[in-house]
Chain A
Amino acid sequence: MILQFFEKYFVMILTAAIGTLGYCLNINVKRNKIVYGCVGGVVSTFLYCVCAEMGLSPLMQNFIPAAVVTLYAEALARVVKAPATVFLIPSIIPLVPGGRLYYTMRAIVDGDADGAKVYAMETIVIALGIAVGIVVISLVFYHISHKNIQYKVRFDAMGNRDQAEKEK
């Protein structure tokens, strides 16, 4: 079973790793951080394949890998002390629906309205799955790490001054 799985998806995972490496070079990620991006790309592809094998819906197929990879990137950002984007963007790339976008366009060019509808729907669903996956996990981290941004300083300071004057 596991052997069969790897036989079926080995090429995908390998090429995802290479493609992620290429993307890292393309957006100029620092050399010593490229390997983290590649690991993220492999993880997301692997989870995508697992979800596809389990027969989950296209939304979940992309939601689960995106969420896991976001968790990975945000955790790594706190360990390695770099912006989470550096790890997140390369990791997500294998999930991006480039193929569906092409087929949508192709169907439109060929005048195949039904095909265009189906492919456009799939593109949007995949993009939505990735988006929700990223947002859900990032929100948690956002609320953990940005508790003490200063918005109320102004009125607090005025209040303190008034109090000090009263005490005088």
Chain B
Amino acid sequence: MKMDEEKSCEAPSRVMECALDMGETMLRCGAEILRVEDTVIRICTAYGGGIVDVFTILSLIILSWKADDGKNYTLTRRINPYPTDLKKLEELNALSRYICEKKPPCDEIQHRICAIMAPAKKRIYKSKMTGYVLLASAFTLFFGGSLRDGLAAGVVAVLMYLWDYLFSAHGRNRVVYSLAISIVAGILCILSVLAGIGQHIDMVMIGSIMLLIPGINLMNSLRDMMCGDIITGILRLAEALMMAVAIAAGFGIAIMMLGGLV
């Protein structure tokens, strides 16, 4: 009897809010649809039986629940784009395991989600900047550039990170943002070669293209389509392709503008 009391002290709408919070944060951090839907269903069924229906696409979660009290509840939530963050995703995944095992009160869940998703202070992250530099320089060498090209790509990567820091793409159109940053990156690459740091314009540019390539979108779109979530798969694929085209166009524009100088 005591078990029942404990279970029923969480109102269905509260549980649904928590489940949706989990789903939203996971989706924003770059989870697959299947993982999101599975998490939401598991959390709802952990706090009470009933029948749970979830429909998720890239920008929307619809959750409908016929709870134990016999009423139907529905919540929808709009999802805004957010940069992929696998560390947060991993922590959320661990949290959802914890929720289904221990069934903590809803307040605790929301506190924990807030703790994970706490908006980090807008500052220059050394680790992220190092990541940019290592990625650009290493792939410049990987595709056959010289050491000086690697150095030039590193310099360009630092400047691109600063650009990202100033005009980060939260909640804006990512395709247009890729176009803008590609143009800037292309111009920076050409200038770095003009300044005499880099030797081969091709290699420096390839290094900085690797920074922008929408690899995660492509990967997630494949995984989604494979699991039967064709809609989201196509949405993600379309976004990834448009971003790839935008990147190519951005560098192309930069070459057309300044290409004659190199």
Contacts and interface: CB of A to CB of B under 8 A. Distances in A.
Interface string A122-139: 000001000100110011
Contacts of A134: 219, 222-223
Contact of A106 (B31, B34, B202, B211): B202
B141 A11 contact: yes
A105 B87 CA distance: 34
A15 B133 CA distance: 12
B226 to A, nearest CB: 5
Contacts of B220: 85
B109 interface: no
B142 interface: yes
Given A30-B90, A33-B90, A82-B90, A89 B139 contact: no
Contacts of B226: 135, 138-139, 142
Nearest to B133: A22
Interface in B227-262: 227, 244, 247-249, 251-252, 255-256, 259
A102 B205 contact: yes
B159 to A, nearest CB: 15
Given A28-B86, A33-B90, A83-B35, A99 B206 contact: yes
Nearest to B41: A150
B27 interface: no
Contacts of B210: 19, 93, 96, 98
A12 B140 CA distance: 10
B255 A101 contact: no
A19 B142 contact: yes
Given A18-B134, A83-B89, A89 B219 contact: yes
Contacts of A96: 210, 213, 215
Contacts of A23: 131, 135
A12 B142 contact: yes
Contact of A102 (B31, B93, B134, B251): B251
Contacts of A15: 138-139, 141-142
- The winner among B34, B45, B51, B248 for most chain A CB atoms within 10 A is B248
Nearest to B26: A83
Interface residues of A, number: 52
B259 A109 contact: yes
B81 to A, nearest CB: 15
Interface string B41-53: 1000100000100
Contact of B84 (A18, A27, A103): A27
Interface string B116-144: 00000000000110111111111101110
A102 B86 contact: no
A101 B135 contact: no
Interface string A93-123: 1101011011111101100000000000000
A24 interface: yes
Contacts of A83: 31, 35, 86, 89-90, 93
A39 interface: no
B128 A85 contact: no
B68 interface: no
Nearest to B205: A102
Contacts of A146: 34, 38, 227
A27 B86 contact: yes
A64 interface: no
Interface of B: 30-32, 34-35, 38, 41, 45, 51, 84-90, 93-94, 97, 127-128, 130-139, 141-143, 202, 205-206, 209-211, 213, 215-216, 218-220, 222-223, 226-227, 244, 247-249, 251-252, 255-256, 259
